[in-house]
Amino acid sequence: MNQLLYTTFSLTMLGTLINRTHFLTTLLCMEGMMVTLFVMMTITLSNTEMTSTTSMSIMLITLSACEASTGLALLVTTTNTHTNDYMKNFKLLKC
């Protein structure tokens, strides 16, 4: 089971590195990484039966939801200003 989760995390990270043409694709790959981390943490915490750290998985999924909403807000804003979501159109060092 752990090998499958490690493979899933590696594939989503590879997808983030390879498919950098669209902003939406990058956001989806990052969400896949967060969900995989959530599943790994939940399985690890349930196997070790550590009751003091059970809230960590809830905090992780909460931060993941915040990251997703911020990413979608940025996607809508950049789509409205640039009319597409191509990463090459963004000027990251623009003042």
pTM metric for this prediction: 0.80
Residue 95: predicted pLDDT? 46
CA angle 18, 29, 92 (to 5 degrees): 65
pLDDT above 90 (res 69) = yes
What are the tens digits of pLDDT across the range 19-55? 878 888 888 999 999 999 999 988 888 888 777 777 8
What backbone phi and psi angles, to 5 degrees, belong to 91? -105, 95
Average pLDDT value for residue range 10-24:
87
End-to-end alpha carbon distance in the chain: 47
Contacts of 10 (CB under 8 A, 6+ apart): none
Beta bridge partners of 75: none
| Mean pLDDT (the chain, rounded) | 85
Domain ranges of the chain: 1-19+29-41
Q: Is the pLDDT of residue 93 over 60?
A: no
**Helices 55-82 and 23-48, packing angle to 10 deg:** 180
Which residue, 94, 85, 88, 89, is CA-closest to 27? 85
Give the whole-angstrom CA distance, residue 25 versus residue 29. Answer: 6
